[in-house]
Structure 1
Amino acid sequence: MESVARGGTRWKRFAVVMVPSVAASAAIGVALSQGALAASFSVSGQQFKLTVDELKGTGFVQYGAVDVGKSGKHPVAVVGLDSAKITNLCQSVVVPVPAFGNVSMTLRAGRAGGPKVIAKKLYIDADDLKANATFNKIDIGVSVDDTTKGPGPAKNDQYAPGSFAQQAESVKFTKVRQRAWATSAGTFKLSGLAMSVKKGKHECY
């Protein structure tokens, strides 16, 4: 799948701090590890957290957009990567269950010393990031419609035409800590996938 459509909304002015942001989510990893994601979706009302020890990617692009779901409209910084290799991925989501309390689902893959997580045509919609980043041949301030070094904006993403974007031939991120609304990928191979479900709040960070 070369692109992913998301729920539509009319663009409204908002400011997104354009920082180098990236991570990879296993929120829907079991399905993605076997094939492509559906062509469109609206985001849930919950965010999830991710940690990554190291991510090496080729073909990087970033731009501002809006994710839409039943919980409303959420401004995000979208990161797109042609390909990525990820070491020690952790993804967690906490679901409040009526009359029971919080339930946490945690997924881990690509443990250090073993096979890495491999993603193709990866898009991450995030609103918070902490990481160390190194870019190779970066362009900052290019029009989102004219990016050439990454996968380009996802089809039907809600963004302002001609708005600010940045791109690079390759990137390396370490010590990633990210909060995201959605992740999608053409393929997502999760080596050593392990899932746990526990009562209470147990997040990756």
Structure 2
Amino acid sequence: MKSQVRGGTRWKRFAVVMVPSVAATAAIGVGLAQGALAASFSISGQEFKVSTDSLVGEEFVQYGSVAQGSTLEGKPFAAPVAVSGFDNARITNMCQSVVTPVPGLGDITLRLTAGDSDAAKAGNTDKQVYAEELYLDVSDLKADAQFTNIDIGVAAGALPKKEGGQGIQPGVDPRSVNKNGFAQRADKVTLTKVRQKAWATTAATFRLPDLSLSLHRGTDKECFKG
């Protein structure tokens, strides 16, 4: 039975892990090894970290899936993920980092920041990061969250509330998502104090005001520790 909570719902220190069953993940891993699955998006063998002061998204959906790719050594693997989708989202003070081991140099951290100006933090939407048709393949998420008109326990295949509404990410291998599996949706979500680990991000539009990209030796410049 679908669980419904109407109006504004605030979840302190929101932490989500919604993934397919271990058996399903193992089956997809076998399929990759045998070349049976043609992944539409092959992920890298590295998780990356994202932190933000706030993310305000409309037409939020979330469901379990499996991201597929290869390790840095070239070995195929599959990672269970919670896919978070938004029709559009505005992000304040975004940081993204990934650590790569480089022979002879050690760990190198690539750090990207955007939407971190005083104007963005004061609410100037032109200076905030903006994305449309945003999907995140998340392995770990910690934040404070407030939802508007949330439905918990929706079948993943029934996520869109209207014709053309937000649902399962278009173009993904249909075998990576169980359309009868657990999912949730909300008209709007506000996440603050976000600390996220993810395998992939896709968006139809991604605007990054005040973009800065830098490389650093070691891991001191990761967006957050842990």
TM over 0.5, shorter chain: yes
- What residue number does 2:189 align with? 171
CA RMSD of aligned residues (A): 1.8
**Per-residue displacement from partner, 1:21-52 (whole Å, max 9, x unpaired)?**
xxxxxxxxxxxxxxxxxx94200000000101
The 5 A counterparts of 1:8-87 are 13-14=21-22, 40-71=40-71, 72-87=77-92
Which ranges in structure 2 are unaligned for 5 or more consecutive residues?
1-19, 24-38, 72-76, 121-126
Q: Distance in 2 between matches of 1:204 and 1:172?
A: 20
Identity %: 50
Shift of 1:60: 0.4
- What residue number does 1:141 align with? 153
Matched residue pairs, number? 172
User: Quick one: which amino acid aligns to residue 168 of structure 1?
Assistant: A
Give the secondary structure class of the aligned counterpart of 2:43.
coil
Give me the TM-score of the superposition, normalised by structure 2.
Answer: 0.73
- What residue number does 1:129 align with? 141
User: Quick one: which amino acid aligns to residue 60 of structure 1?
Assistant: F
- What residue number does 1:33 align with? none
Shift of 1:98: 1.3
- What residue number does 2:123 align with? none
User: Quick one: which amino acid aligns to residue 194 of structure 1?
Assistant: S
- What residue number does 2:166 align with? 151
Q: Distance in 2 between matches of 1:188 and 1:40?
A: 20
Shift of 1:92: 0.3
Q: Which runs of 4+ in 1 moved over 2 A?
A: 12-15
**Per-residue displacement from partner, 1:133-163 (whole Å, max 9, x unpaired)?**
0000000000000112452111324111211
Q: Distance in 2 between matches of 1:14 and 1:147?
A: 23
User: Quick one: which amino acid aligns to residue 128 of structure 2?
Assistant: K
1:203 aligns with 2:209: no
Larger C-alpha radius of gyration, 1 or 2?
Answer: 2
